[in-house]
Structure 1
Amino acid sequence: MNQPLINIDRKFRPEVEGLRVVAALLVAIYHIWLNRVSGGVDVFFVISGFLITSSIISTINRTGELRFLPYITKLMKRLLPSVFFILGAVLVLSWFLLPKSILDKTIREVVASMFFYQNWQLAISSTDYLDSSQMKTPVEHFWALSIQGQFYIIWFLLFAFILLLIKKYKLTNVKTLINTVLGIIFVSSFIYSVYLTAVNQPWAYFITMTRVWEFALGSLLCVNLSSIKVNKILATVIGWLGLIGLILTGIVFNVSEMFPGYIALWPMVCALFIVLSGTRETKFGVKRFLGSPVMVKLGGISFGIYLWHWVLLEFYRYNVQETPGIIVGTLIIISSIVFSFLMTRYIEEPIRSSDNNKFSFKRLGIMGSVNILLIGSFLIGVKINHYKLEQKITDKNFPGALAVKSPNVVPDQEPIPAFSDVFGDLPQAHLDGSNQGLKDSDLKIGEYGETENFDATIALIGSSHSEHWLGAILEATKDHNYRVLNMTRSGTRFSTGYSDDDLKGIWVNNVLDYLKDADVDLIVAQATASDASSNKIQQQIVDQLQYIKDEYGIEVLAIRDDPRYSFNVLESLETNGLEKTTEKMNSETNQKDESFWKQFETENKSLHKIDLTDYFRVDGKFQPIIGNIIVYRDNRHLTNTYSESFGPIFEEEINEILKKK
């Protein structure tokens, strides 16, 4: 190809380097002191789109082709050294400094980060990025890097396809073609992002398709920047407006709940303003600040600053205190800069700048192998703990909920599950995938117990606060000829409170359609939400259960919700101990459904009801460990082991209801 694919301004842009470090520092500052999302990651995505498009087009202009091996080799040499090194450091430090209860989650996320699918790992596990009640791993922030890595592959395929079209059909209006393709990607991804953010924001936050428009915007800027002219006055004004607007993004908007929908245009436009302002040399423009030697130097290590700050922050939180003060937070940022500088100089640069690929990949291979060996060691330890857990569950010294009203004194034992196993002590429906995730509304049904020639069918329906009783129900029905169905969806109460076009509402309607003709004798479901003070929310759940009873003639066992807390009970138990956690639990008003439940018990005679609140207290105090079993795996969900200890209680209740049918 004799002529350049497209003429772009390939010169070094110092203000872009400065913008990168501003984005990295904003992320760190908002995480450390404000516990909010800053919008800085979205700016990283725009810059990445701008830079990789510039690199790809320059390569095609220079060589006339775009080959995968040189492209992926260069990409791996740039990304993997820092990633492998930091993940290795996290694995080693986790063994000594991380609560055992989060080790299993950390291992899974380290693996996901190594292979650049961490964003999907978090989406599938229904992670809320800034929910303080969810235990955070030191590598949770790698989700953004995973999206970036996926994007680089997508963009290679995209431009390889464009180049193929140009060569095959001898196209000459290349700029129009590229703008058209990028425009279609931008618009379609943006529309999907706005839609999915409205109906399922936690899922939209992490997945790749809702973020591609941000990269595409940077690419469009790269392709068209040389054609956009701004005068010096306008350049000065929009540059400073862009920087101020970017800094205020996380304060003006609740980014973690509103992004990546149309609100994400705010930091995007701010970034565009800054880049556009840099096309003109002005005396008082933002370029003089962002393009200063110090900012350019820091911009070169901004990638490491982003990666290190969260690692240091999380280890500090688990070992010292939840929120750092000004001095400690500043030290975390300074340490991130120092570690990033040293890592860039001694780990990343020797590999990235070497012309000897054999040398580079030998080092990468060693780092990757060490990480895999460390992961293997962790997994072996987890397997051993699981084996010990299975042995202990059969011991009569672990009565769980039955200890509350048992006259026998329960001897002190090390509680089960082991801390390293609690986070994964999930209901069977969660383990086999029959629990419905947030991403769709199709009805997924798990079938347990007797599946043929059964005497009765019991259906467990509702959110995760219904699902965590599955262990109790399976334990209650194991000696009976019953079929058990699980119809649960994370974050979705079986309620009349959702609209018909919402994913939650669609799922509820799908459940209703199924039950209309289903052979179901008894429905078990949560009847309240103990963290909701509004009686309207409680009534909507009861109204739905009442509808099932009145219209379908199915018996209903309505369960009062378990106590919920504003903090992670498991994390507190391991880091603060039993006494302080007990004190913390009892200092909260953790059941806002009290008055509603009393009225419901008194006035509603047609639904069967069960209030298990007493089984969360010993001598009048709520406890994190009862009958030598750990009660909670987070701030609101029961461990499956504790749920199973309710088996005899549910067995009596279920048999009594079914006998009357």
Structure 2
Amino acid sequence: LLVTLAGTLLFVSDAWWEETARQVIASALYVQNWRLAEQAVDYLGAEDAPSPVQHFWSLSIEEQFYIVWPVLMIASLWWARRRGYSPVQMLTFVLGVVLAGSLAASVALTRSDPAWAYFVTHTRVWELALGGLLALTLDRFRPSAHMQNAMAVAGMLAALASAVLFSRSTDFPGFKALLPTLGAALVIAAGSVRVGRFRGLDIVALRYAGDRSYSIYLWHWPLIIFYAAQRGSIGLVDGVLLIIATLAVSDLSYRFVEQACRHSRSSLAWRPLIDGTAAIGVCVAMAGGLVYAVDRQPIDTSQIGTPNYPGPAALLANAVVPQGVKLLPPLSKIGSDVPVIYTLKCHQKQKGIDATGCQLGDPTGTRTIVVMGDSHAAQWVPAVDKIAKDRKWKLVTFTKAACPVTRVTILDDGKPYEQCALWREKGLAEIAKLKPDLVITSQSNYTGVARDAMIEGLRSVWSEITNQGARVVAIRNTPFSLFDPRDCLRTDPGKCVNPRSEVEREDIYALAARSVAGVSVVDMNDALCSKDTCPAVVGNIVVLRDNHHLTATYALALAPYLAKAAGL
């Protein structure tokens, strides 16, 4: 973990330092799987690039099992002794209950929330329980040589089938996880010393890899991430080089770290525990220090509009852009430069259905503005909040991840996004109670939804709002990026440019607004792009914090231009 943290500082964009440091801490404390589970169901976090310690999620589950299992084992043996049961039978029963309960949870949760089910402990612990049952039953297992061979071949074929048949779209773990897990169990049983080795597993290359499997597990992923950060895509030759590098580093780690620790002859029985605890402490301290250092870096929004940071004025007013000026926000803060509604926890995540909005602007104002929509509406909150404060208006926000304002069925992992429909109607009911003067909407284009259905859904919602006396300002969706600016800006910001024709979506809002009175469509894309290109940086201010969301800083810089375009 310490080497990976150092490698992150050397090879990975500053924009990923803080998140990687947080994941290093989670990995050192063996809770990485829970951190990744939270990110997997977080619309914004799910889009982040994989970290060099992402693979520690499985090790975290193992260590959690190792902490709980001894306690459960002692309690089971105590109960067996009191009741006169066989200790082995009691442990077998307990492991069987754990296996059945965990597998049932895995199947149920994989159907309802596969992203969460993939990482959480209780959907995975059955796999470890199966290993425990295997250990308890091998002494009583005496297969024939033919049976042993058949088990080994079947196990290896099951593992191979999993690698070939499963893809990113496979619902996993659930029942499908039985295939590789049972395959591994068959191979272990066939190769056990207690039942006689299967000679097919005695191949020198397999034994070499098996001895170093833990080291390979630890080192392969950081090497891939660091290499990709420097080279971009990974081709066949790159893959071969990475395999060679992984084997070389893993061999050194196996010989001089893993084996050295295993065969250490320290006179102190507690020495391994002391050393391990100290290493965890150093790791957490160093990663925590990096998080603290990044957090302390300010985003000085008072610089917006100054000669050094003209921002959108560079496109709209031909303002001179000085060279050699540090970017705003700093590269290390781009990913966390989000609207305040995220830190205030009033931007609903995908599971939420409550239409609880943020109260911003001027709380004593006599006029009320509402912002409603998905994260592409939420990205405009810094600009609208600035406008509301300047004009002494109230601002109320109703925003939810991946949930557009339009009345149309949105799919989430191929299933109807029911939480979105419930939240939308609750939000519209709250707007009816508020009786705002103005409602601002914006949204992503949702390419999986039929164009006509999207347009009719927008007209339905807008008509409902305007019939209540409010004016609607619909902001056209902003262009996306073909690359992640957090990676591109590390090398040469001048080359971080998208062709406008490839990243600007169809203006659905303009089409939908034609037949709805009281709706004004505002197109701010000329403040993000020149005639032909959409750069990652405009006027020394970073435009996007990921592939398709404005930085809060650039949104704030757009406030006066949005006010003018919307007639506010």
TM class by smaller structure: 0.7 to 0.9
* Aligned: 1:185 with 2:98: yes
Q: 1:559 aligns with which of 448, 470, 475?
A: 475
Give the letter aligned to residue 640 of structure 1: A
1:104 pairs with one of 13, 18, 21: 18
User: Which structure's residues are more often helix, by fraction?
Assistant: 1
What is the correspondence of 1:194-209 to structure 2 with a 5 Å cutoff? Answer: 194-209=107-122
Displacement of 1:311: 0.8
Does the 8 Å CA contact 2:474/2:521 hold for their aligned counterparts?
A: yes
1:629 CA drift (Å): 0.7
- The question of 1:319 aligning with 2:230 is answered yes
Report the 3-state secondary structure (helix = DSSP H, G, I; strand = E; otherwise coil) of the residue aligned with 2:391: coil
Q: Aligned-pair distance for 1:109?
A: 1.4
| Corresponding residue for residue 458 of structure 2 | 542
- Contact 1:101–1:423 (CA under 8 A) maintained in structure 2: yes
Larger mean Cα displacement after TM superposition, 169-178 or 106-115: 169-178
Deviations 1:502-547 (A, max 9, x none): 7841343144235425425244332442655842673475266347
CA distance in 1: counterparts of 2:521 and 2:170, whole angstroms: 35
CA offsets 1:34-56 (integer angstroms, 9 cap, x no match): xxxxxxxxxxxxxxxxxxxxxxx
Instruction: Deviation per CA, 1:199-248: give whole Å up to 9, x if none.
Output: 33222222222222322333333334455665544443343233133124
Show the counterpart of 2:124: 211
Q: Residue in 1 aligned with 2:546?
A: 634
Name the residue aligned to 2:434: 519
Q: Conserved in 1, the CA contact under 8 Å of 2:369 and 2:394? A: yes
> Matches of 1:146 and 1:379 in 2, distance apart?
21
Number of residue-to-residue matches in the alignment = 559
**537 and 411 in structure 1: CA distance in 2 versus 1, 3 angstrom threshold:** farther
Aligned to 1:220: 133
- Partner of residue 75 from structure 2, selected from 161, 174, 177: 161
1:332 equivalent in structure 2: 242
Once structures 1 and 2 are overlaid, which stretch shifts more, 519-528 or 141-150? 519-528
What letter corresponds to residue 100 of structure 1 in structure 2?
D
| RMSD, aligned α-carbons | 3.6
Separation in 2 of the partners of 1:196 and 1:435? 24
Q: Which residue number in structure 2 is paired with residue 23 of structure 1?
A: none
Q: Does 1:602 align with 2:518?
A: no
| CA separation of 1:351 and 1:274: change in aligned 2, threshold 3 A | closer
Mapped to 2, the partners of 1:305 and 1:209 lie a distance apart of 26
Q: Does the 8 A contact of 2:355 with 2:427 survive in 1? A: no
Deviation at 1:555, TM superposition (A): 4.7
- Give 1:125's match in structure 2, choosing from 39, 55, 60: 39
Deviation per CA, 1:38-87, whole angstroms, max 9, x where unpaired?
xxxxxxxxxxxxxxxxxxxxxxxxxxxxxxxxxxxxxxxxxxxxxxxxx1
Q: Decide whether the 8 Å contact of 2:61 with 2:121 is kept in 1.
A: yes
| TM superposition shift of 1:125 | 2.9
- In structure 2, do the counterparts of structure 1 residues 547 and 279 end up closer, same or farther at CA, with 3 Å as the change threshold? farther
Change (3 A) 1:455 1:149: farther
* Structure 2 counterparts to residues 397-416 of structure 1, below 5 A: 397-412=308-323, 413-416=325-328
Unaligned runs of 5+ in 2: none
How big is the shift at 1:624?
1.0
> Could you list the runs of 5+ residues in structure 1 that have no partner in the other structure?
1-86, 657-661
Q: How does 1:211-290 map to 2 (within 5 A)?
A: 211-226=124-139, 231-255=144-168, 258-278=171-191, 287-290=198-201
1:374 matched residue in structure 2 = 286
| Structure 1 counterpart SS, 2:122 | coil
Query: How many Å apart are 1:625 and its aligned residue?
Result: 0.9
The alpha-carbon distance between structure 1 residues 449 and 432, as it changes in their structure 2 partners (threshold 3 A), is closer
Q: 1:620 to 1:88 in 2, by over 3 A?
A: same
Cα distance between partner residues in 2 of 1:482 and 1:549: 19
Which range moves more in the overlay, 451-460 or 613-622?
Answer: 451-460
User: How far 1:586 sits from its partner (Å)?
Assistant: 0.9
Deviations 1:589-612 (A, max 9, x none): 224434x44532434445442222
Q: CA distance change for structure 1 residues 369 and 404 in 2, over 3 Å: closer, same or farther?
A: same
Maintained 8 Å contact 1:105/1:423:
no
8 Å CA contact retained: 2:80, 2:86:
no
Give the share of equivalent positions with the same residue, in percent: 25
Q: Quick one: structure 1 residues 399 and 292, their matched pair in 2 at CA, closer, same or farther if it must change by over 3 Å?
A: same
Instruction: Tell me: higher relative CO, structure 1 or 2? Use CA pairs within 8 A at least 6 residues apart.
Output: 1
Shift of 1:452: 4.8
Moved more, 494-503 or 341-350: 494-503
